């Protein structure tokens, strides 16, 4: 399990979008060097599709 300040977001990424723990860890590592919203970092590095990015932001609006 990835330790994060956003555990609900991490859980959503893993459970609903089937994003691998390894992909999330890569994005978290990059976010330490280049701070920004985790969903955008995932997308910028090709770890989620544009459709998945939209799903993440839709989920974030209601979460």
Cβ contact 23:12 at 8 Å: no
Q: What are the residue boundaries of the structural domains of the chain, listed by start?
A: 7-62
How far apart CA 9 and CA 52 sit, in angstroms, is 13
Give tens-digit pLDDT for 28-37. Answer: 999 888 888 9
Alpha carbon separation from 54 to 32, 34, 44, 59, 60 (Å, rounded): 23, 21, 13, 9, 10
Whole-prediction pTM: 0.85
Give tens-digit pLDDT for 52-61. Answer: 999 999 999 9
């Amino acid at each position: 399990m990835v330790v994060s300040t956003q555990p609900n977001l991490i859980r959503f990424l893993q459970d609903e979008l089937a994003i691998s723990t390894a992909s999330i860890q890569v994005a978290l590592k990059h976010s330490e060097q280049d701070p920004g919203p985790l969903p955008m970092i995932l997308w910028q590095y090709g770890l989620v599709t544009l459709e998945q990015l939209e799903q993440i932001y839709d989920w974030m609006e209601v979460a």
